Structure 1
C-alpha cells in the first residue's frame, strides 16, 4: 500500500498553501509524510503543476477538474495495481491512532475502506484506503464529468467505519478554523 498526501488544491479560502501550515512543530506535509511512512511502502505528495516539494510527489494529471479526485486518479495512473492510503493535508488531527484504526479495519475485498463523516453521514473521501479495484470507477466518474470522490465511494461496495474520535476527520480550510485548531492542540 502506498500513501498519498492530497495537497494539490488552490487553498483559496485559507489564503496560503495548507500543506505548509504547521500544527505539530513542522509542516503538515512533513508531519503526514513521516506518519504515512510508518505504514506505507512509499509515500507521495499530490501536487498541482504550480507547486514543488522536497518529498516524492505526483503531479495532478487531470487538470480539467478541480477536485481531490484529480490527485487520487493521478496516484492510480502512477501505480494502478497499488492500494492508496489517502490523507488530505488539511486534516491536522489525523494521528497514528487514526491511521492504525483505518488500516486494522481495512477490507481488501471491498473497493475502499473509509470513515463515515459523523456530521453528514457520508464516506469521508479525504482519509480513505482506495483499493486498486476502484480505479476504473473513479476514472469513469472523471470521464463523465463527475468530480466527487465521495459520490463514487457512496455508489460502490466499501467498508464504512466510525472514527474513534470524530475530531480526527476535521478539515481546516480558513484562517478562523486554523486559529481554533491551534487552540485545541
Structure 2
C-alpha cells in the first residue's frame, strides 16, 4: 500500500552564508517561507515546517504546524529524521525553504513520478547531476538507513541517496536553484524580475 504523502518545509537552518534568515527573505512581495509553504500545502495531505527549538515562537513560523528538531543541529537530516520519527508511516515531500524559483508544476511532476516501492524519488541537480535531497520524496523505508547513517556520524542526505533505492528524475532546470548567499539572492531576484 502506498504511504500517505506529507510535506516538510525545512526552515531550521542558521543561514550563516546569507547572514540573515533565508525563510524571511522577500522575493515577490512575501516571505519565501510563506510562498514555499503554500506550494507544499497545496500538493500534500498535511504539511509542517521543520524548526529548531529556538524558532518555535518566531512570528514567521509560529502560526504554522511545526515539527521541532529532535536531533542536534546537523543540517537538513535533523529535520527529515525528526519528521520520520513523528510520523513513521508516511512519506515526506521535503523542501528546502530557499528555492524561490520552485513552482507547482515541478512538485506535481515529482509526485506523479513517485515510486513508493523505492526509498526515495528525487530530481537530478541541474548543476552537478547528483540527486537533489531537498526537493525530494522520502518514503518510510528510507528512515532506517538515514538514522543509521546519522548514528555513524554521516549527516549528508545526498550521500544517503547514493546507497538507498532512489529514482532520480531529470533535472527540472532552474526550478531548484537556491539562494544561499546575498549574491545568489540578487541573481535570483533579477531572474524573477523583482523590483524591490
Q: Considering the TM-score relative to the shorter chain, is it more than 0.5?
A: yes
Given that residues 126 and 174 in structure 2 are in contact (C-alpha distance below 8 angstroms), is that contact kept between their aligned partners in structure 1? no
Correspondence for 1:78 among 76, 86, 92: 86
Q: TM-score, normalised by structure 2?
A: 0.90
User: 2:46: which partner in 1?
Assistant: 42
Q: Distance in 2 between matches of 1:19 and 1:81?
A: 28
Q: Distance in 2 between matches of 1:176 and 1:121?
A: 23
User: 2:129: which partner in 1?
Assistant: 121
> Is 1:160 the equivalent of 2:164?
no
Q: TM-score, normalised by structure 1?
A: 0.96
> Is 1:102 the equivalent of 2:110?
yes
CA RMSD of aligned residues (A): 1.0
User: 1:26: which partner in 2?
Assistant: 30
* CA deviation after TM superposition for structure 1 residue 119, in Å: 2.0
Q: Distance in 1 between matches of 2:26 and 2:49?
A: 16
Q: Distance in 1 between matches of 2:30 and 2:171?
A: 25
Secondary structure, in 3 states, of the residue corresponding to 1:85? Answer: strand
User: 1:57: which partner in 2?
Assistant: 66
Moved more, 87-96 or 47-56: 47-56
Listed as ranges, the gaps of 5+ residues in structure 2 are none
Q: Distance in 1 between matches of 2:27 and 2:66?
A: 22
Consecutive aligned runs of 4 or more in structure 1 exceeding 2 Å deviation: none
* CA deviation after TM superposition for structure 1 residue 79, in Å: 0.4
Aligned length: 183
Moved more, 16-25 or 126-135: 16-25
User: 1:169: which partner in 2?
Assistant: 176
